[in-house]
Amino acid sequence: MMKEYLEKLGKTAERFVDSTGQMAMMLAQAAMYAFLPPVKFRNIFKQMDFVGVQSLFVVVLTGSFTGMVLALQSFNALKRFGAESLVGPTVALSMARELGPVLTGLMVTGRAGSAMATELGTMRVTEQIDALVTMAVNPIKYLVVPRVLAGILMFPVLTIITDFVGVIGGYMIGVRLLGINPGVYIGRTIDFVQVDDIVTGLTKSIVFGLITTLVASYHGFYATGGAEGVGRAATSSVVLGSVLILVSDYLMSSFML
Amino acid sequence: MIKIINLKKSFGTKKVLDGVNLEIDRGKITVIIGRSGEGKSVLIKHIIGLLRPDEGSIFLDDLEISSMREREFNEVRRRFGMLFQGAALFDSMTVAENVGFPLKEHTDLNEEDILKVVREKLKRVGLVGVEDMMPADLSGGMKKRVGLARAIVMDPEIVLFDEPTTGLDPIMSDSIADLVLDTQRVLKTTYILITHDIPFTYKIADKIAMLHEGRIIEQGSVEEMKANPDPVVRQFLEGRAEGPIKVY
């Protein structure tokens, strides 16, 4: 019984080390091929559209409702100390430093990460990736590099949009619904929020963009086992991508505070 | 032209290729036959470098390709074309984009010239007016034809076919056989096919090699193989369940 358990544990550890190594190799190769000509701008723009433009609706929705609920909750808490005027900075700081990048990361992982893993997984099991290799086209350069670049470039843009609509949502609730003076709301927000706060959030979003696209590409690229394997790749990419976003967010927050 | 020497490959504990020796002649059609799961696809994937051997070597003319680094192999791959079992067309591209893909990646031809070559290759495989269709809208036989057009678009010296008739009805299989013969005769390209379709094999092969239990057990022309007394070969070519090959 004990032996079986240890064997299972050992195999899990081996798989973990194996896949971490493979993912690191993929990242190293993608980094190398990203700078080697020819650069396929068309593929990069296509992925930027997919990761960025097509995620707009979901991040606007998430950002605005998060800003609104933050304003409601912080008003309720701050009222007890007579500090309602701090609702604006509370919403803006939370959005810029944490919720903007993290929620954008999680939402885009759910939307674009799963779709990426599914697309690449389907290409793997239907031998389209092998076909690329036989045509002397490097599949990491052709498929992975544009996706990872799109993630790194578009996540900060989406995060800025999430932050912005979050702040607007907070303003609408704080000023229009809860009656905070608009001058105080805006003035306090400007007083408290610094460029560093926004830069911190954007730095995180670049890392999240890399995590999401790399994890999705990895799971899709090495998918095995037909349709079931493709489904597994999509699920794994969302679960691992989300977990890594949350863990790396904590680590980065502890360094950047 | 291609010489495979003592090629061995295992996946985990499963030994798939156990010392394959085979010579492929230039400008001929070589068909490798064998039961499903015998490692035919594994063998063909070694020839084009999708898999690397545990032991043994593959020579293309005087070049030992099996030990080449990926970047060197990419130069060699330009001499190959490959038709996959499911055609492996890119879902997100039209037929014309699929066929023209190698030209776009490896030549300086402009869009117009690429389209001209694409139309010519599609015509050669019997397809006209399908350039703007998506792979999802094509029948199985049409997909194989488009796959073949893509495989020959760069006028390669060697074309590999992975089970070209699997999933096709007998009439379509026969038309693929005609297509293989027509396209091969024009340029005298070296064709290597793997299949377990015996009527198809008899129609097209210059040479048949039988893969069994990880080795090439017999090889020869169609007539020589038809006359081969080996009970394993006989059972396979005659498609009988009874015989030395175990059914499981």
CA distance B168 to chain A (A): 17
Block residue for tokens 């399908």: B130
User: What is the share, in percent, of chain B residues with pLDDT greater than 90?
Assistant: 68
Report how far residue B76's alpha carbon sits from residue A57's, in angstroms, rounded to the nearest whole number: 47
Is A138's CB within 8 Å of B74's CB?
Answer: yes
Confidence band of A157 (pLDDT split at 50, 70, 90): very high
Look at residue B83 and tell me whether its pLDDT is greater than 90: yes
- B57 vs B32: CA distance, rounded Å: 18
Q: How many CB pairs under 8 A join A and B?
A: 46
Q: What confidence tens digit (pLDDT) does each residue in A162-217 have?
A: 999 999 999 999 898 888 888 988 999 898 988 989 999 999 999 999 999 999 99
Query: Is there a contact between A104 and A52 (Cβ–Cβ < 8 Å)?
Result: no
Run of H or E including A81: none
B77 contacts in A (CB within 8 Å)?
133-136
Q: Is A126 helix (H, G, I), strand (E, B) or coil?
A: coil
For residue range B53-71, what is the model confidence (pLDDT) as tens digits?
999 999 999 889 998 988 8
pLDDT range class, residue A131, cuts 50, 70, 90: very high
Question: What is the C-alpha to C-alpha distance for residues B160 and B82, in angstroms, rounded to an integer?
Answer: 5
**pLDDT tens by residue, A14-50:** 888 888 898 899 999 999 998 888 888 889 999 999 9
Average pLDDT, chain B: 91
User: Which pLDDT score is estimated for B21?
Assistant: 94
- The verdict on whether omega for the bond into residue B199 sits within 30 degrees of 0, i.e. cis, is no
Q: Which residue of B has its CA nearest to A128?
A: B88
Which amino acid belongs to residue A169? Answer: G
More confident residue, A197 or A257: A197
What is the rounded distance in angstroms from the CA atom of residue A64 to the CA atom of residue A58? Answer: 10
Residue B45 confidence (pLDDT): 94
Share of chain B above pLDDT 70, in %: 100
Cβ pair B77:A135 closer than 8 A: yes
SS3 A36: coil
Residues of chain B contacting A123 with CB distance shorter than 8 Å: 90-91
Query: In percent, how much of chain A has pLDDT > 70?
Result: 100
Q: What is the DSSP string of A176-241?
A: IIT---HHHHHHHHHHH--HHHHHHHHHHHHHHHHHHHHHHHHHHHT--SHHHHHHHHHHHHHHHH
Q: Burial-class residue B28 by CB neighbours within 10 Å (0-12, 13-18, 19+).
A: middle
Contact B8, B66 (CB under 8 A): no
One-letter amino acid of A43:
N
Distance of CA B236 to the CA centre of its chain: 20
Q: What percent of chain A has pLDDT over 90?
A: 68
- Could you tell me if B218 and B228 are in contact, meaning their C-beta atoms sit under 8 angstroms apart? yes
Residue of A nearest to B89 (CA): A128
B chain contacts of residue A135, beta-carbon cutoff 8 Å: 77, 101-102, 105
Phi, psi of B68 (to 5 degrees): -70, 150
Q: Is the pLDDT of residue B114 over 90?
A: yes
pLDDT on residue B175:
87
Full set of structural domains in chain B with CATH: 28-38+80-238 (3.40.50.300)
A122 → chain B, closest CA residue: B91
Q: Among B50, B89, B90, whose Cβ lies nearest the Cβ of A130? A: B50
Please judge whether A133 and B84 are an interchain contact, meaning their C-beta atoms are less than 8 angstroms apart. Answer: no
Per-residue model confidence (pLDDT) at position A82 = 82
Interface contact A135-B48, CB threshold 8 A: no
Res B170: pLDDT: 87
Q: What is the 3-state secondary structure (H, E, C) of B80-112?
A: EEEECCCCCCCCCCCHHHHHHHHHHHHCCCCHH
Please indicate whether, in this complex, the C-beta atoms of B74 and A131 are within 8 angstroms of each other: no
Q: Tell whether the model's pLDDT for residue B215 goes beyond 90.
A: yes
Residue among B82, B89, B91 minimizing CB distance to A134: B82
Separation CA B152–CA B148 (nearest Å):
6
Residues of A in contact with B80 (CB under 8 A): 134
3-state secondary structure chain B: CEEEEEEEEEECCEEEEEEEEEEECCCCEEEEECCCCCCHHHHHHHHCCCCCCCEEEEEECCEECCCCCHHHHHHHHCCEEEECCCCCCCCCCCHHHHHHHHHHHHCCCCHHHHHHHHHHHHHHCCCCCCCCCCHHHCCHHHHHHHHHHHHHCCCCCEEEEECCCCCCCHHHHHHHHHHHHHHHHHHCCEEEEEECCHHHHHHHCCEEEEEECCEEEEEECHHHHHCCCCHHHHHHHHCCCCCCCCCC
Say yes or no: B77 contacts chain A, CB-CB below 8 A.
yes
Nearest to A130 among B80, B81, B84 (CB): B84
Q: Check: pTM over 0.80? Answer yes or no.
A: yes
Closest to A131 measured CA to CA, from B11, B35, B153, B69: B153
Rounded Cα–Cα distance for residues B122 and B247 (Å):
41
Say if strands B207-212 and B190-195 run parallel, antiparallel, or are unpaired: unpaired
CA–CA gap between residue A86 and residue A169 (Å, rounded)? 15
Q: Contacts of residue A126 in chain B, CB cutoff 8 Å? A: 86, 88, 91
Q: List all residues of chain B from 28 to 67 with a beta carbon under 8 Å from chain A.
A: 45, 48-50
**Is the pLDDT confidence value at B143 over 80?**
yes
Angle at B157 between CA B151 and CA B162, to 5 degrees: 45
Interface of B with A in 88-147 (CB under 8 A): 88-91, 101-102, 105-106
* The two three-digit tokens of residue B183, written as one number: 């396209």
Strand partners, A225: none
User: Which of B69, B85, B90, B143 to probe the A interface (max A CBs under 10 A)?
Assistant: B90
Q: How far is A134 from chain B (nearest CA, A)?
A: 6
Map residue A40 onto helix, strand or coil: coil
Q: For the beta carbon of residue B94, count every other beta carbon within 10 angstroms.
A: 18
Q: Report the greatest alpha carbon distance in chain A.
A: 70
pLDDT of residue A127: 93
Residue A256: pLDDT over 80: no
Write down the pLDDT at residue B54. Answer: 94
Query: B101–A135: do the CB atoms touch at under 8 Å?
Result: yes
pLDDT, mean of residues A61-90: 90
Residue B110: what pLDDT?
93
Residues of B in contact with A133 (CB under 8 A): 48-50, 77
Which pLDDT band holds residue B147 (cuts at 50, 70, 90)? very high
- Which of B42, B70, B74 to mutate to probe the A interface, most A CBs <10 Å? B74
Residue B193 has pLDDT above 90, yes or no: yes
> Which of A68, A67, A87 lies closest to A77 in space, CA to CA?
A87
Is pLDDT of B248 > 80? no
Distance, CA of A85 to chain centre: 32
Q: Is A136 close to B74, i.e. CB distance below 8 A? A: yes
Q: How far is CA A8 from CA A2, A12, A15, in A?
A: 10, 6, 11
